[in-house]
Amino acid sequence: MAKVTAQSRHTQSSKRKGPASRSGSQRGPIAVTVSILAVAAVLVAFLLIKLNSSSTSPTTGERPVPSSVLNAIEHVPTSALNSVGYNSSVIPPLVTLSGQTPLMNSGKPELLYIGAEYCPFCAAERWPTIVALSRFGHFSNLHLMTSSATDSFPNTPTFSFYKSTYSSPYLSFVPVEWATNKPTSSSNNFSGYSILQTPTKSELALFQKYDTSPYTTQAGSIPFLDFGNRFLQIGASYQPQILDNSSWATIAGSLSIPQSQTAQAIDATANLETAGICAITHNQPGSVCDYPTIAKIEATMKG
């Protein structure tokens, strides 16, 4: 599980060499013109490289999710999800809370997510969370992103919830991406990464209350998901290496193949989270919550 406390990471610093000294040279008009043209060419090349890298780099969080990928994630066939089902010996169950004040937002039960862009475990968990939530509503403005290049399971393909929106008549989804995936030397950091969003006072209170013993053995772990103050998901449900060396399109396509290792992890977790959401929405909508697979999982939950 990714920890709030500082983690070891490898950073490299580069030293820039100063310009080579010149002495005793004579520079005529032709030489000056050639030099100016050369500098201009270098600047143009530099700008082209910058523009190209900013438009293709998946680590910036600035690339919108292609419609084909989003469609595959939001519309995983029910037949595939039912075929995968859920096995508690493979995917740990949600942590049950009892007697807590329901977590509500705008008159609807709230699912609170607290994570960070650098975190590889958050990267893994976002996939099934998006699949599950898409059965109750719709995302917009999701962006492609990878986890930190210097943390464990580097560059895990995922998405960022930062500046995304989620609409549903059944529940509110409140995501907090605490930090970017960029290391920083600034004293104002989160586990050594630049701060992106700061939880509100009430969100931080929930995080500090539940992200500790007896609900988890590793206090302060992320990702942290609070299902309406009835269930918790702390840490990733499966290991991020399942997503190693895979593109977003490949992972999304695998979700429709029940026998694939990717579907066995992501679809099963999505079913578990779907059951948790059904429990806090009073089994609405029936078109999702009445499926035997979901009803069976929910029947094992208490809270």
Who's near 181: CB < 8 A, 6+ residues apart?
59, 61, 116, 117, 118, 145, 146, 147, 148, 149, 193
Residues 255, 210, single domain; the answer is yes
Query: Which tokens belong to 176?
Result: 């907090």
Q: What is the dihedral of CA 144, 177, 294, 89, to 10 degrees?
A: 100
- Domain that residue 75 falls in: 63-299
- Same domain? For 157 and 287 the reply is yes
- At 91, which amino acid appears? I
Quote the pLDDT of residue 283.
98
Radius of gyration of the chain (CA): 23
Residue 14 in any domain: the answer is no
Kindly tell me if the per-residue pLDDT of 9 is higher than 50.
Answer: no
- Do residues 144 and 252 both lie within one domain? yes
What mean pLDDT do residues 73-95 have?
A: 97
Residue 16 domain-assigned? Answer: no
* Residue/partner pairs of 271-274 with CB below 8 Å, 24 or more apart: 271/81, 271/84, 271/85, 271/86, 271/132, 271/297, 272/86, 272/91, 272/93, 272/94, 272/128, 272/237, 272/297, 273/94, 273/128, 273/129, 273/132, 273/133, 273/225, 273/227, 273/233, 274/132, 274/135
Q: Considering only 50-59, 70-79, 213-222, 258-267, which range has the smallest mean pLDDT?
A: 50-59
Whether residue 239 sits in one domain with residue 130:
yes
User: What strand order describes the sheet that includes 63-64?
Assistant: 63-64, 143-146, 157-160
**83 and 46 assigned to the same domain:** no
Residue that the structure tokens 């994630």 belong to = 73
Residues 270 and 146 in one domain: yes
Residues 232 and 154 in one domain: yes
54 plus 72 within the same structural domain? no
The total number of residues shown for the chain amounts to 303
Give residue 225's identity as a one-letter amino acid code.
L
What pLDDT is attached to residue 302?
Answer: 75
**In the predicted model, is pLDDT for residue 17 greater than 70?**
no
Residues 127 and 143 in one domain: yes
Instruction: Determine, yes or no, domain membership for 269.
Output: yes
pLDDT of residue 104: 98
Residues 125, 274 within the same domain = yes
Q: Is residue 22 part of a domain?
A: no
Cα-Cα-Cα-Cα dihedral sign, residues 256, 259, 260, 266: positive
Q: Averaged over 184-198, what is the pLDDT?
A: 95
Is 4 part of any domain? no
Strands across the sheet with 179-183, in order? Answer: 179-183, 193-195, 189-190
3-class secondary-structure state, position 11: coil
User: Is the pLDDT score of 46 beyond 50?
Assistant: no
User: 7-16, 236-245, 259-268: which range is least confident on average?
Assistant: 7-16
* pLDDT tens-digit series, residues 132-174: 999 999 999 999 999 999 999 999 999 999 999 999 999 999 9
Instruction: Kindly give the pairing relationship between strand 172-177 and strand 108-115.
Output: parallel
More confident residue, 242 or 18: 242
Cα 257 off chain centre by: 22
What is the total count of domains within the chain?
2
pLDDT confidence of residue 62: 65
Asked if pLDDT for residue 218 goes beyond 50, the answer is yes
**296 has a pLDDT exceeding 60:** yes
Give the residues across from 115 on adjacent strands. 177
Helix (H) or strand (E) segment spanning residue 40: helix 29-56
pTM of the model: 0.81
- Which pLDDT score is estimated for 183? 96
Does 87 share its domain with 233? yes
In-domain check, residue 90: yes
For 148, phi and psi rounded to 5 degrees?
-55, 145
* Same-domain check for residues 163 and 218: yes
Give mean pLDDT, residues 10-28: 33
Q: Are 196 and 164 in contact (CB under 8 A)?
A: no
Q: Residue 246 pLDDT more than 80?
A: yes
Say how far apart CA 48 and CA 2 lie, in whole Å. Answer: 37
> Average pLDDT, stretch 63-79?
97
Residue type, 64: P
